[in-house]
């Protein structure tokens, strides 16, 4: 529950101890806040569990030392305050560098498929959707069981995906072991890799 006057700027000031100079909303839940100590990004996580899950994930990614990851400055029951990573210009060289860094991140490995990061909870999120971090040893079966089928069922229940359409995805999940290629070791992955995060 949001308290009166507890918007992104107030949260950034409270969690960092720095005064707010300016702020600009980047998305519906993300605001860049200029503080007298430098810029930060404030994200409305929605719950303490979501904020903790994201903070643990960012720390785990940073521990690999492969890519620049924003530092977590603070979190509370619904907010996460991180460092602001300067946006770069798209170029062929930047794409090559990013590909190498991402490969380095993946190569840093993970304890098991689906294992939560150190300090992370088994109950986490993909965006705003609840997600279970349940360790497994067989990627195709684990991926189908924990990353595809639960969301497919929700989509069918909501009427977003028709039952006949869901059957096609379920069949693909049944064949995933044959389609996935050779076995691989667990990789260190970022569950929210999109253009706004790279």
Predicted confidence band of residue 190 (pLDDT cuts 50, 70, 90): confident
Q: 64 and 117 in contact (C-beta within 8 Å)?
A: no
Nearest to 41 by CA among 74, 82, 85, 72: 82
User: What is the DSSP code string of 74-130?
Assistant: EE-SSEEEEE-PPPPPP-HHHHHHHHHHHHHHHHT--SSBTPPPTT--SEEEETTEE
Residues of the chain with CATH 3.30.200.20: 8-86
Confidence (pTM): 0.84
**The CATH fold of domain 8-86:** Phosphorylase Kinase; domain 1 (3.30.200)
Interatomic CA distance for residues 45 and 80, integer angstroms:
6
The encoded tokens of residue 109 equal: 């490995």
The encoded tokens of residue 165 equal: 């359409």
Q: pLDDT value at position 158?
A: 97
Q: pLDDT value at position 120?
A: 87
Match 């840093």 to its residue by tokens.
108
Interatomic CA distance for residues 178 and 18, integer angstroms:
54
Q: 178 and 144 in contact (C-beta within 8 Å)?
A: no
Q: 40 and 13 in contact (C-beta within 8 Å)?
A: no
Could you read off the pLDDT of 71-125 as tens digits, one per residue? 999 999 999 999 998 888 899 999 999 999 999 999 999 999 999 998 888 988 8
């Amino acid at each position: 529950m949001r308290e009166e006057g507890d918007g992104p700027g107030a949260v950034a000031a409270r969690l960092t101890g720095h005064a707010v100079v300016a702020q600009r909303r980047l998305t519906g839940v993300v605001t860049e806040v200029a503080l007298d100590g430098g810029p930060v990004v404030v994200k409305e996580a929605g719950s303490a569990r979501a904020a903790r899950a994201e903070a643990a994930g960012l720390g785990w990614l940073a521990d690999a030392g492969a890519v620049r990851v924003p530092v977590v400055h603070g979190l509370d029951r619904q907010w996460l305050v991180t460092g602001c990573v300067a946006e770069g210009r798209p170029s062929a060289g930047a794409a090559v560098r990013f590909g190498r860094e991402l490969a380095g991140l993946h190569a840093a490995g993970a304890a098991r498929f689906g294992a939560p990061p150190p300090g992370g909870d088994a109950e986490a999120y993909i965006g705003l959707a609840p997600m279970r971090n349940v360790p497994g040893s067989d990627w195709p079966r684990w991926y189908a069981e924990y990353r595809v089928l639960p969301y497919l069922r929700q989509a069918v229940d909501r009427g977003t995906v028709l039952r006949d359409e869901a059957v096609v995805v379920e069949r693909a999940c049944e064949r995933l072991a044959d389609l996935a290629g050779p076995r691989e070791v667990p990789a260190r992955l970022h569950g929210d890799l999109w253009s706004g995060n790279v």
